Amino acid sequence: MSADIAEQPAGFARLLEDGPSAAIAEVAAKVAGKAPRSVLFVGRGTSDHAALYGAYLAEIRLGLPVASASPSAITLYGARPDLTGTLVVGVSQSGGSPDLAGVLNVARETGALTLAITNNPASPLAQAAELSIDVAAGHERAVAATKTYTAELLALLMLVEGIRAGGALPADERAALEKLPELAAGVLADRSAEELAQRYRFASSLVTTGRGYAYPTAREAALKLMETSYLPALAFSGADLLHGPLAMADPDVPVLAVVGEGPGGRSMRDVVTRLGERRADVVTIGAADIPGASARLAVPAVDERYSPLLDILPLQKLALALSLARGEDPDAPRGLKKVTTTL
């Protein structure tokens, strides 16, 4: 897991190279030419969190209605919804789960334009789709996905911005993205996450929260903590947290709050203040100190769309360090396998 985490700056650089970048631009141009009226994402686990990030991008940047598919409706109940004019995007590291490929097969038969985003271009998911994008993350050693997740995020970002531009990324967008490898390397060099792990060594539960583009990060962080440290972690959007779950906040329930730039980050400041009033132990992930928080995992101030590619990095390191501090093996979580197949 440590090696996989360390490879992420190189993974960003690889996906931004001329070959992979041009391949994504070609897919983006084809999607733009079809002018879909809506987008439907399908994914499981970590890839579902990447798909959620893609949903925010598509709604905000493309102005399209977006939904998340329920695979069981198709694979267990035999539903065949009319998906004419819909872009259906399957997101999966392995591309090997039958339910995801099943959704894309039915979607293609019922009028959708289908796209697979995967780390395995020869997978059943990629074969089922009309279009596919290889996230080019390379072999991932650990069961807990890290580098494939951020590669999916970057691929989705390049895809959506490419669709918006009609194909290739605008020059200013590409120049901004090319800074990501160096920024990611800087985040990974910071050892604050390892030091913070001792703080949570004996925690019995934990809450993660964020809004907008940061919400997928909160969900992915919670999953990483659960699957590597077996620590019950609940993920809430900042808005949902205030609609009831705030009542459980107290000094014994640590909170990891993702507070970035832009509207999502600004709205989270009130959430952190409210948590502070409850005397919750709040650690923020962001570029600036926030009143009400007791500590911060520092990340660079970047465009809000880019933040999820950096914000998750210290949280991955925290999950790894906490697992080791609690005497667990983060490379072999109990009961889990690298490829999970569901129907």
Tell me, letter by letter, the H, E, C secondary structure of the chain. Answer: CHHHHHCHHHHHHHHCCHHHHHHHHHHHHHHHHHCCCEEEEEECHHHHHHHHHHHHHHHHHHCCCEEECCHHHHHCCCCCCCCCCEEEEEEECCCCCHHHHHHHHHHHHCCCEEEEEECCCCCHHHHHCCEEEECCCCCCCCCCCCHHHHHHHHHHHHHHHHHHHCCCCCHHHHHHHCCHHHHHHHHHHCCHHHHHHHHHCCCCCEEEEECHHHHHHHHHHHHHHHHHHCCCEEEEEHHHHHCCHHHHCCCCCCEEEECCCHHHHHHHHHHHHHHHHCCCCEEEEECCCCCCCCEEEECCCCCCCCHHHHHHHHHHHHHHHHHHHCCCCCCCCCCCCCCCCCC
Residue 339 has pLDDT above 80, yes or no: no
Residue 16 has pLDDT above 70, yes or no: yes
Average predicted confidence (pLDDT) for the chain:
93
Q: Which residue, chain included where needed, has tokens 């490829």?
A: 339
Question: Given this model, what pLDDT does residue 254 score?
Answer: 92
% of the chain beyond a pLDDT of 70: 97
Average pLDDT for 67-81: 93
Q: Give the domains, in start order, of the chain with CATH numbers.
A: 2-185 (3.40.50.10490), 190-325 (3.40.50.10490)
Torsion angles phi and psi, residue 176, rounded to 5: -65, -40
Q: Tens digits of per-residue pLDDT, 173-222?
A: 999 999 999 999 999 999 999 999 998 998 888 999 999 999 999 999 99
pTM above 0.75, yes or no: yes
Q: Tell me the C-alpha to C-alpha distance, in Å, between residue 126 and each of 23, 91, 96, 170, 295.
A: 14, 10, 9, 27, 43
d(C-alpha 125, C-alpha 43), whole Å = 11
Nearest to 293 by CA among 324, 266, 257, 319: 257
Cβ neighbours of residue 143 under 8 Å, at least 6 residues apart?
227, 331, 332, 333, 336, 337, 338
Question: Given this model, what pLDDT does residue 62 score?
Answer: 98
Question: Given this model, what pLDDT does residue 333 score?
Answer: 80
Residue 11 has pLDDT above 70, yes or no: yes
Q: Tens digits of per-residue pLDDT, 206-263?
A: 999 999 999 999 999 999 999 999 999 999 998 888 887 777 777 888 999 999 889 9
pLDDT category of residue 343 using cuts at 50, 70 and 90:
low
Question: Given this model, what pLDDT does residue 341 score?
Answer: 62
Torsion angles phi and psi, residue 115, rounded to 5: -140, 130
Question: Given this model, what pLDDT does residue 128 score?
Answer: 96
d(C-alpha 269, C-alpha 273), whole Å = 6
Residue that wins the pLDDT comparison between 96 and 176: 176
